Amino acid sequence: MKHFTVTFIPDNIQVQVTAGTTVLEAAQKAGLPLKSTCGGAGTCGRCIIKVRRGEVQVKGGHLPAKLKEEGYTLACQTIIQGDVAIEIPAESLLSKHQVLLQDKGRLQDGLTDLLGSYPLEAACEVVTLHLAEPTLTENTSDTSRLLTALRKEKGVEGQVSLALLQDLPESLRQAGWQVDVTLARADNRLLRVTPAGSGRNFGLAIDLGTTTVVVSLLDLRNGRRIGQGGSYNRQAVYGDDVISRIIHATSNHGGLEELRQAALATINEISNSLLANHGINQAEVTAAVIAGNTTMSHLLLGVNPKYIRLQPYIPAATEWPALTAGEIGLAINPLATVQVFPSVASYVGGDIVAGALFTRIAGGEELTLFIDIGTNGEMVLGNKDWLISCACSAGPAFEGSGITCGMRAMEGAVEGVTIDPETFEVELEVIGGGRPAGLCGSGLIDCLAKLRRAGIIDRTGNFHEVATPRLRLTDEGYEFVLAWAAESSHGKDIVITAADIKNLIRSKGAVFAGIQSLLKTVSLELEAVDRIIIAGGFGNYLHVPNAVEIGLLPDLPAEKYVFAGNTSLKGAELALLSRPAWQEALELGHKMTYLELSAGNLFMEEFVSALFLPHTQLELFPSVT
Ligand code: FES
């Protein structure tokens, strides 16, 4: 088979590919993941590139005529047929540097004490053992010598695997019979034998998100966080959401393995770089805890996710067996223990259970509503006596997907919008302070609220014909210009279209309808909720009064809102450091009732009522005028 060289401009990164490879696949191979909301179907228009040199065949796809005239094509529709040079515009690239690792901390989270009342009792511990050297008369085997010493020291029956046994004779002798043994607390498996005093012990907490993956490296001896790293999930080239990933995994030969490897490569790349930065060997990392949604857990473990997508939406498992790093391919000590958070159902996953653990929603009497708005809207309501959860298909609009000028919360994203109600002039607040490139979730919420307040749109989201050049009619309907080409970072107008507004209203309506459905199912009113926890990066820039004004969040006093950041990662850290916390996570998984919103009419009725700014029942939003 013929091989061609693809050179990516401007970084001059080269890869070899075979004939028939698409530019999207080549870019992925080169470590340059492109935005690909539709997973390569040619419909989202996010993967635009320019062929600078060489022979390609362009299949088609949905690309505006103006971009075609300017020489752009879609990477997923451009097939390489010779040595080529490809230019990737910055806005087509998913940059790993854009992953938000730290919570912005703009709002008090009140949840900073990770362990709280949980004891520091990590998944593994290091035990120092002083063994007697064997003699002709005291000649038991190396293994029984080691296990006897362990029994005396800890009172436990250690388990020795073949992999550990293979190196044991040399390990003991080189250490002069004075050894540190790393022991898995769950089953007393011996994970490592090193000379006494050298047994460092590290663990990874992993938030395996559909979009981003964040890894925390912790010292298991003292619970200290050593470092964090994050990147886009390499699965992104197979589509933005879990449904397109499931379709790729189940309708392409080898698709599931491709997705498994992509997730694994993402985690391993982040953890390898963390370990290298901190002078830690892979062998020294003996535990990992992973929190991901149900689909991500299936894909990482290579489990067929097909029935998650099909009615009645049944996952292969909600609890996972105890695993080792070697079994799943994590690039740490192959004997390391790996715990994957349990899920509740197909669309309420381990990330939500981890969040519930970290935020202690089952810890007291107060009624808590936990909301994670990401690619989906997942929520849990309850207290120490009961918990009920649901997932609504809010769509990824608040993550910037499916919105003409939408983008993630990163540098260049508009996070705040002000519109003068007289002149309709616009002021934008941009993350990082530079020129705007697009709107992230909080910017979109702000924009919707301000458009309505300025009388540019009505309560149904339709444009009023106000007199400003910013409002213009295109072939696709009205759009409002938020930033002119000369003001933006990419030299193109930043607009919000009538279709974007409808899309956002549907998304916010779905989230609010989910909240109402949970409350109505347990016969409670909004006022009964004592605190609302907003999880995920979305909360970092969110302005609650605007979210209330558009009817996304309930009209409750601001002091009831708590922003908890990446609760999936924090829950994984907590479970890694404390076995009692992990036990509680398992119990939480069982305790949470799942409300399937598509099973009755309740959600649909609530959804239809919520397709209004803020809502058809204005009495639900007394503070919105
Ligand atoms: Fe290429 Fe969507 S158009 S990935």
Residues 74 and 131 in one domain: no
Least confident of 99-103, 245-249, 576-580: 99-103
Q: Which residue has the higher pLDDT, 614 or 232?
A: 614
What is the percent of the chain where pLDDT is above 70? 97
CA of 215 to the centre of ligand 1 (A): 28
509 vs 99, higher pLDDT: 509
Q: Is 45 in the pocket of ligand 1 (CB under 6 A)?
A: yes
Sequence-ordered list of residues with C-beta below 8 angstroms from that of 516, at least 6 positions apart, any chain: 606, 610
pLDDT tens-digit readout, 14-44: 889 998 899 998 988 887 888 887 778 888 7
User: For residues 101 and 145, which has the higher predicted lDDT (pLDDT)?
Assistant: 145
Average pLDDT, the chain: 91
Give the ipTM of the model, two decimals please: 0.99
> Looking at the domain assignment, is residue 112 inside a domain?
no
For residues 35 and 87, state if they share a domain: yes
- Which strands sit side by side in the sheet containing 561-565, from one edge to the other? 561-565, 531-535, 368-373, 377-382, 387-392, 592-594
* Residue 415 contacts residue 401 (beta carbons within 8 Å): no
* Atom nearest to 43 CA in ligand 1: 3
Nearest to 512 by CA among 421, 427, 435, 616: 616
Q: Where are the beta strands (DSSP E) in 93-188?
A: 124-130, 178-184
Contacts of 316 (CB under 8 A, 6+ apart): 298, 303, 304, 305, 307
Q: What separation in Å is there between the alpha carbon of 50 and the centre of ligand 1?
A: 14
The verdict on 85 and 128 lying in the same domain is no
What's the average model confidence in pLDDT over 40-65? 86
Q: Give the least confident one: 63-77, 174-188, 248-262.
A: 63-77
Q: For a substitution probing ligand 1, which of 43, 49, 59, 68 has the most ligand atoms within 8 Å of its CB?
A: 43
Same domain, 189 and 134: yes
CATH number of the domain enclosing 151:
3.10.20.880
Task: Give the residue, 396 or 224, on which the prediction is more confident.
Answer: 224
Backbone angles phi, psi at 531, to 5 degrees: -150, 150
Domain count, the chain: 2
* pLDDT on residue 33: 80
Distance of CA 253 to the CA centre of its chain: 26
CB neighbour list of residue 482: distance below 8 Å, 6 or more residues apart: 405, 414, 417, 426, 428, 436, 439, 447, 470, 494, 495, 496
Q: 54 alpha carbon to ligand 1 midpoint, in Å?
A: 21
Q: Is the pLDDT of residue 442 over 50?
A: yes
Tell me: do 85 and 130 sit in the same domain: no
Which tens digits make up the pLDDT trace of 304-326? 999 999 999 999 999 999 999 99
- Would you say residue 470 lies in a domain? no
For residue 394, the SS3 value is coil
Same domain flag for 12 and 53: yes
Residue 391 resides in a domain: no
CB 118 within 8 A of CB 112: no
Mean pLDDT, residues 39-64 taken together: 86
CB of 94 sitting under 6 A from ligand 1: no
What's the 37 CA to ligand 1 centre distance in angstroms? 6
pLDDT for 95 equals 59
**pLDDT tens digits, 94-135:** 754 445 555 443 333 333 478 888 999 999 999 999 999 999
Domain that holds residue 148: 124-195
- Check whether residue 23 and residue 88 sit in a common domain: yes
Q: Is 326 in the pocket of ligand 1 (CB under 6 A)?
A: no
For residue 101, the model assigns a pLDDT of 54
So what's the pLDDT on residue 208? 97
In this predicted structure, the answer to whether residue 355 has a pLDDT above a threshold of 90 is yes
Dist. CA 406 → ligand 1 center (Å): 15
Atom of ligand 1 nearest to the CA of 37: 2
298 lines ligand 1 (CB under 6 A): no
CB-ligand 1 contact for 36 (6 Å cutoff) = yes
Give residue 74 CA to ligand 1 midpoint distance, Å: 6
pLDDT recorded at residue 601: 92
Choose among 384, 310, 301, 302: nearest CA to 347.
310
Residue 174 forms part of a structural domain:
yes
17 in a structural domain: yes
Q: What is the mean pLDDT of residues 523-529?
A: 96
Q: Is residue 172 part of a domain?
A: yes
Contacts of 573 (CB under 8 A, 6+ apart): 114, 205, 216, 218, 225, 289
Query: Residue 402: CB within 6 Å of ligand 1?
Result: no
Residue 123 is predicted with a pLDDT of 94
Residue 37 CB less than 6 A away from ligand 1: yes
How far is it, in rounded angstroms, from Cα 545 to Cα 557?
10
How many angstroms separate the alpha carbon of residue 47 from the centre of ligand 1?
5
Q: By three-state DSSP, how is residue 597 classified?
A: helix
Atom of ligand 1 nearest to the CA of 61: 3
118-122, 197-201, 383-387: the lowest-pLDDT one: 197-201
Residue 33 Cβ inside 6 Å of ligand 1? The answer reads no
pLDDT at 163 over 50: yes
413-419: strand order across its sheet: 426-430, 413-419, 438-439
Q: Which atom of ligand 1 is nearest to the CA of 34?
A: 4
Is position 161 within any domain?
A: yes
- Whether residue 140 sits in one domain with residue 68: no
User: Hey, which of 36, 86, 92, 93 would you mutate to test ligand 1's pocket, going by the most ligand atoms within 8 Å of its Cβ?
Assistant: 36
Which ligand 1 atom lies nearest to the CA of residue 45? 3
In this prediction, residues 186-212 reach a mean pLDDT of 94
**pLDDT interval class at 453 (50, 70, 90):** very high
Q: Are strands 212-219 and 426-430 parallel, antiparallel or unpaired?
A: unpaired
Evaluate whether 242 touches 287 at the Cβ level (below 8 Å): no
- 86, 11: one domain: yes
Q: Is the CB of 183 under 6 A from ligand 1?
A: no
Is any atom of ligand 1 closer than 6 Å to the C-beta of 373? Answer: no
Q: Which of the 8 DSSP states describes residue 64?
A: -
Give the integer Cα–Cα distance in Å for 400 and 48: 17
> Is pLDDT of 564 > 70?
yes
- 28: Cβ below 6 Å to ligand 1? no
pLDDT at residue 224 greater than cutoff 70: yes
| pLDDT at residue number 105 | 37
Atom of ligand 1 at shortest range from CA of 76: 1
Whether ligand 1 lies within 6 angstroms of the CB of 46 is answered as yes
321 lies in a domain? no
Does the beta carbon of 44 sit less than 6 angstroms from any atom of ligand 1? yes
Q: How far does the centroid of ligand 1 lie from the alpha carbon of residue 13, in Å?
A: 21
pLDDT of 133 reads 95
Residue nearest to atom 3 of ligand 1 (CA): 42
Q: Are 321 and 314 in contact (CB under 8 A)?
A: no
**Is any atom of ligand 1 closer than 6 Å to the C-beta of 579?**
no
The CATH number linked to 29 is 3.10.20.30
Centre of ligand 1 from the C-alpha of residue 61, in Å: 8
Cα 394 to ligand 1 centroid, rounded to whole Å: 21
To test the pocket of ligand 1, the residue of 32, 47, 91, 93 to mutate (highest count of ligand atoms within 8 Å of its CB) is: 47
Give pLDDT, residue 28: 81
The three-state secondary structure class of 196 is coil
Give, in degrees to the nearest 5, the angle at Cα 394 between 393 and 400: 130
Q: Cβ distance 191 to 122 under 8 Å? A: no
Based on the domain organization, do 8 and 82 belong to the same domain? yes
Q: Which atom of ligand 1 is nearest to the CA of 38?
A: 2
pLDDT band at 591 (very low <50, low <70, confident <90, very high): very high
Q: Which atom of ligand 1 is nearest to the CA of 47?
A: 1
Q: Is the CB of 237 under 6 A from ligand 1?
A: no
